[in-house]
Homo-oligomer: A and B are copies of this chain.
């Protein structure tokens, strides 16, 4: 038995679940989903699967049964209005607005620092706003196990059981089982590994010891900040200074002064990997289905949208005619779209930009964005 488990839960006599606070970092343009997803309307603001909910709304709703309304949302100032339209229940104190993008280290670190100042015993969980997960109860079970494990003094990542030998994700190699009350699946993490080659990915899949690193983790804010301080002291100091001012009249002034000076670093490098080396990271292997909706092929795969003959159509009020065609149409407009004799096509129609590609080329859409940037067509990016 892990003694820290008893330590953490004993004093107050409450369950670790009561200390939980969810954090949703909502950033990332989703360049491979251009022109649907773009700087002014990033991926998380779209209903990419035809579920009836935007990704951010679905993420929030998925967390509610675990956290209640103890949810902090971190996003860019530019998205405030759109996010609040999606999540009208957000109070002002639930919203952390970045004045400019500073990567996940600063975004998640600031959330941790604010929560720490409010209550140093908080256990936070970080869940990106643009992922598709089902079934929800399996996800929620895994998060609850992660919270119990975090309460023993661990940063706990949730590893996704791979369904194929993906080269698009990092992997987590599982270590020995841990004995944690309320977390029967908890394991040590033997190693984080970067995106592998196809050959290596196939070995991972076969071995059964590797999970996808979905970037979801649960941790006591105190422990997270301790690792951040050790690895990125400048970032830590800046974030703590902002956090100390956060619930005071100085919030905006201090944030505006310090935020632009903060270093850009991913939370994986700033916290997770050094913590793993220190033996402070655990994992919950989970086998719910998970997708980061990385490209239009993923949308075609995930979407429950109606099909017009063999073409999947996503978009309210879409007017599509197809003949002898296969693929997917995503539309943000009311224009009539006709496909004749074209196979495996991806058509994305927005008021000011149109993409035509194939499912096989979905991963290359980023090149269009780069190319348009080079041409100076910034208005549609």
* In the complex, A319 has a CB within 8 A of chain B: yes
Number of residues from A at the complex interface, CB < 8 A:
36
* In the complex, A216 has a CB within 8 A of chain B: no
Give the nearest-CB partner of A361 in chain B.
B341
Contact yes or no, A338 B323, CB < 8 A: no
Cβ contacts under 8 Å, A372 to chain B: 321, 336, 338
A327-342 interface mask toward B, CB cutoff 8 Å, 1 = contact, 0 = none?
0000000011111111
Contact yes or no, A336 B371, CB < 8 A: no
* In the complex, A105 has a CB within 8 A of chain B: no
Using known A-B contacts A368-B323, A375-B321, determine if residue A345 contacts B336 with beta carbons closer than 8 Å: no
Cβ contacts under 8 Å, A34 to chain B: 338
Give the nearest-CB partner of A371 in chain B.
B321
* In the complex, A364 has a CB within 8 A of chain B: yes
Q: How far is the CB of A160 from chain B (nearest CB, A)?
A: 29
Contact yes or no, B340 A361, CB < 8 A: yes
Contact yes or no, A342 B340, CB < 8 A: no
User: Contact check: which of B336, B338, B364, B371 meets A341 at CB < 8 Å?
Assistant: B364
Cβ contacts under 8 Å, A319 to chain B: 377
Contact yes or no, A340 B367, CB < 8 A: yes
Stretch at the interface among A1-9, A74-82, A263-271, A346-354: A346-354
Cβ contacts under 8 Å, A352 to chain B: 335-336
Q: Complex Cα distance A324/B358, Å?
A: 11
Q: Complex Cα distance A114/B331, Å?
A: 51
Using known A-B contacts A319-B377, A323-B367, A375-B321, determine if residue A356 contacts B342 with beta carbons closer than 8 Å: yes
Q: Complex Cα distance A324/B372, Å?
A: 15
Q: How far is the CB of A331 from chain B (nearest CB, A)?
A: 9
Using a CB–CB cutoff of 8 Å, the interface residues on chain A facing chain B are: 34-35, 319, 321, 323-324, 335-342, 345, 347, 349, 351-358, 360-361, 364-365, 367-368, 371-372, 375, 377, 380
Interface pairs (29), CB distance under 8 Å? A319-B377, A321-B372, A321-B375, A323-B364, A323-B367, A324-B361, A335-B351, A335-B354, A336-B352, A336-B353, A336-B372, A336-B380, A337-B353, A337-B354, A337-B356, A338-B354, A338-B355, A338-B357, A338-B371, A340-B355, A340-B357, A340-B364, A340-B368, A341-B358, A342-B345, A342-B356, A342-B357, A345-B356, A349-B354
Known contacts A319-B377, A335-B352, A336-B352; 19 further A-B pairs (Cβ under 8 A) = A34-B338, A35-B336, A321-B368, A323-B371, A324-B364, A335-B351, A336-B354, A336-B377, A338-B355, A338-B371, A339-B355, A339-B357, A340-B358, A340-B361, A340-B364, A342-B356, A347-B354, A354-B354, A356-B356
Which 4 residue pairs across A and B have the least CB separation, nearest first?
Answer: A341-B361, A340-B357, A338-B368, A336-B353
